């Protein structure tokens, strides 16, 4: 029954554990989902462990402690064993239509009623792939990009018989593991992304074939120019900006005519033995003797750093990473709740990339920001939130003392726990402790004095009685605790 199909998944069957299958396994496992892999390659366990190792390193850099406990990896002895208790199946077999059609039918016969299958095919049509299945509505293409564990894009494309429910389920599953779903509305060979990549690749092959440029020069033509822009703006947004203030219309008028000139070629050059030799030799020269693993690490490090940079702008792939980071942190305790010892939990967050300094630690201003945000939580709790401020009154911080006692690194979960030490009609005396949950240690404290003000008059004024009562209740709640270490401190040189 279609209604039984589930988006909440606990276990995924991976059929085909090569470059892409192992990449999927890594993405699922590092997002807390169990996988069972079937691949007849006798080396599959070693190869998968290497890919998951790379992925663990990359995703720990990317998301840090926000990552959930890893799922488990098991290796199945047959397709049926890999899929029989799976909630979702990802097929990553070699790109051969006959093989995929035959084995997709086998998966369909063995999988549970609620499961659906995503196929990693780079360009085969799902309508053809679902031809042998008893439940063809359960197949959809989920086309990823290498390395699957970092790059967020997945193209979702249904065939003639794919149900909307299956597409929705696949999209929900991929989103759950931090991906950006691009729905391919019309089935087409090569989908969207590979058609674009192939066009560039075809031209690149011609340029080598005709002796115009080497592999290394072609890569330079991309990576020092257009490639940098493509990674966050694509091609249309870039050209819109290239059109100046008149935008895309001007750009099309200016450069449109060249589209009719026969610059580029629609069909690639014939891959003769000679051309294959030339490209392979040039590629070896370009690689400069560095091995595959070294390049994989470099690629992953650059991709993670790029994602962090984009995350600071909440843009393109960075926006996807930021949303996933928030999704991963979803189980955190409720901010604003009063803890059993009377303190208020005012901040609970992993350390974000934009808060990191050149020492790779939480940077100085970020402490003040987090403590300031913690103060806002207390103010909202006593009735001095944004609405109250809009009404013309507020609490202003008149003095702050921060002590730095330790460090926190990217992704490390930190909490700020706040005590309202004292309150009266016009004053609030707050004491924040920032705790690293990883180190189980206080890494900073902040003491603030706040004064209640009439913002228009820019003068102190008594807070409303209800607000004073709410503040005094928080004072009473923590009163049984000993005075915090470090209150009333000043900075002075010893002696």
Question: Which residues inside 127-146 make contact with ligand NAD, applying CB under 6 A?
Answer: 143-146
Would you give the distance in Å from CA 81 to the centre of its chain? 31
**Min. distance of Cβ 103 from ligand NAD in angstroms?**
6
Distance CA 179, CA 8 (A): 15
**Min. distance of Cβ 191 from ligand NAD in angstroms?**
10
Stretch that binds ligand NAD, among 86-94, 209-217, 253-261, 311-319 (CB under 6 A): 86-94
Q: Does 13 bind ligand NAD (CB under 6 A)?
A: no
Distance CA 160, CA 115 (A): 19
133: tokens are: 């299945």
Stretch that binds ligand NAD, among 15-23, 262-270, 318-326, 369-377 (CB under 6 A): 15-23
Cis ω on the peptide bond leading into residue 426 (within 30° of 0)?
no
Stretch that binds ligand NAD, among 17-25, 232-240, 410-418, 485-493 (CB under 6 A): 17-25
Position among 1, 3, 42, 94 found at the interface with ligand NAD (CB under 6 A): 94
Position among 13, 17, 126, 159 found at the interface with ligand NAD (CB under 6 A): 17
Q: Which residues contact 152 (CB under 8 A, 6 or more apart)?
A: 178, 179, 180, 317, 320, 321
Q: Does 269 bind ligand NAD (CB under 6 A)?
A: no
236: tokens are: 């249309």
Q: Does 218 bind ligand NAD (CB under 6 A)?
A: no
Q: Does 329 bind ligand NAD (CB under 6 A)?
A: no
Stretch that binds ligand NAD, among 49-57, 90-98, 179-187, 436-444 (CB under 6 A): 90-98
Q: What is the DSSP letter of 271?
A: -
Position among 8, 95, 97, 357 found at the interface with ligand NAD (CB under 6 A): 95
The Cβ of residue 2 has, within 10 Å, a number of other Cβ atoms equal to 15
Measured from the CB atom, the residue of 38 and 63 that comes closer to ligand NAD is 38
Helix ranges (H only) for 343-434 are 364-381, 386-390
Stretch that binds ligand NAD, among 10-18, 171-179, 211-219, 252-260 (CB under 6 A): 10-18
Q: Does 120 bind ligand NAD (CB under 6 A)?
A: yes
Measured from the CB atom, the residue of 299 and 426 that comes closer to ligand NAD is 299
Q: Could you report how far apart the first and last alpha carbons of the chain are, in Å?
A: 80
Q: Does 157 bind ligand NAD (CB under 6 A)?
A: no
Position among 2, 7, 19, 461 found at the interface with ligand NAD (CB under 6 A): 19
Which pairing describes strands 441-454 and 393-404: parallel, antiparallel, or unpaired? Answer: antiparallel
Helix, strand and coil content of the chain, in percent to the nearest 5, comes to 45, 20, 35
Distance CA 413, CA 436 (A): 6
- H/E element holding 61? helix 44-63
Q: Does 83 bind ligand NAD (CB under 6 A)?
A: no
**Min. distance of Cβ 122 from ligand NAD in angstroms?**
3
Q: Which of 70, 68, 87 is nearest to 13 (CA)?
A: 87
Measured from the CB atom, the residue of 194 and 376 that comes closer to ligand NAD is 194
Q: Using CB atoms, what's the residue nearest to ligand NAD? A: 18
Beta sheet of 180-183, edge-to-edge order: 73-75, 34-38, 11-15, 88-91, 116-119, 139-143, 153-158, 180-183
- Write the binding mask 27 to 66 for ligand NAD: x where contact by CB under 6 A, - elsewhere: -----------xxxx-------------------------
**Min. distance of Cβ 39 from ligand NAD in angstroms?**
4
Distance CA 84, CA 76 (A): 10
The contact set with ligand NAD (CB under 6 A) reads: 15-21, 38-41, 92-95, 103, 120-122, 143-146
């Amino acid at each position: 029954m279609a209604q039984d199909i589930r988006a909440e998944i606990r276990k995924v069957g991976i059929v085909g554990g090569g470059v892409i299958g192992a990449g999927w396994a890594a993405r699922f496992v590092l997002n807390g989902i169990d996988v069972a892999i079937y691949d007849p390659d006798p080396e599959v366990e070693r190869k998968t462990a290497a890919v998951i190792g790379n992925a663990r390193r990359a995703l720990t850099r990317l998301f840090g402690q926000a990552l959930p406990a890893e799922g488990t990896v098991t290796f199945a002895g047959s397709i049926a064993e890999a899929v029989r208790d799976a909630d979702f199946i990802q097929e990553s077999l070699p790109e051969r239509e006959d093989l995929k059609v035959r084995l997709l039918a086998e998966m369909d016969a063995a999988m549970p009623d609620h499961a659906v299958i995503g196929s990693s095919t780079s360009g085969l049509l799902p309508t053809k792939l679902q031809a042998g299945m008893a439940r063809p509505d359960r197949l959809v293409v989920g086309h990823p990009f290498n390395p699957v564990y970092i790059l967020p894009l997945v193209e979702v494309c249904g065939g003639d018989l794919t149900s909307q429910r299956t597409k929705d389920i696949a999209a929900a599953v991929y989103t759950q593991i931090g991906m950006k779903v691009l729905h391919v509305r019309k089935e087409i060979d090569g989908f969207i992304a590979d058609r674009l990549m192939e066009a560039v690749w075809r031209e690149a092959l011609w340029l080598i074939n005709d002796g115009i440029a080497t592999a290394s020069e072609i890569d330079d033509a991309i990576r020092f120019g257009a490639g940098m822009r493509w990674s966050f703006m694509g091609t249309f947004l870039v050209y819109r900006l290239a059109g100046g203030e008149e935008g895309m219309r001007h750009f099309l008028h200016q450069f449109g005519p060249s589209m009719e000139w026969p610059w580029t070629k629609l069909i690639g050059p014939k891959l003769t033995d000679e051309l294959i030799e030339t490209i392979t030799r040039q590629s070896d020269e370009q690689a400069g003797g560095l091995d595959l693993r070294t390049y994989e690490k470099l690629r992953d490090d650059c991709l993670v750093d790029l994602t962090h940079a984009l995350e600071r702008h909440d843009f393109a792939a960075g926006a996807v990473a930021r949303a996933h980071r928030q999704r991963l942190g979803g189980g955190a305790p409720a901010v604003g709740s009063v803890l059993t010892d009377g303190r208020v939990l005012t901040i609970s967050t992993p350390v974000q990339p934009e808060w990191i300094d050149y020492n790779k630690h939480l940077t100085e201003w970020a402490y003040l920001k987090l403590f300031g945000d913690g103060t806002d939580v207390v103010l909202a709790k006593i009735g001095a939130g944004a609405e109250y401020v809009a009404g013309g009154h507020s609490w202003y911080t008149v003095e702050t003392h921060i002590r730095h006692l330790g460090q926190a690194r990217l992704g490390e979960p930190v909490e700020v726990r706040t005590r309202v030490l004292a309150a009266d009609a016009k004053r609030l005396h707050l004491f924040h402790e920032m705790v690293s949950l990883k180190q189980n240690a206080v890494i900073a404290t902040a003491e603030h004095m706040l004064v209640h003000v009439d913002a228009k008059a820019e003068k102190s004024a008594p807070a409303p009685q209800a607000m004073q009562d709410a503040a005094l209740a928080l004072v009473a709640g923590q009163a049984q605790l000993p005075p915090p270490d470090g209150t009333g401190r000043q900075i002075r040189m010893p002696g």
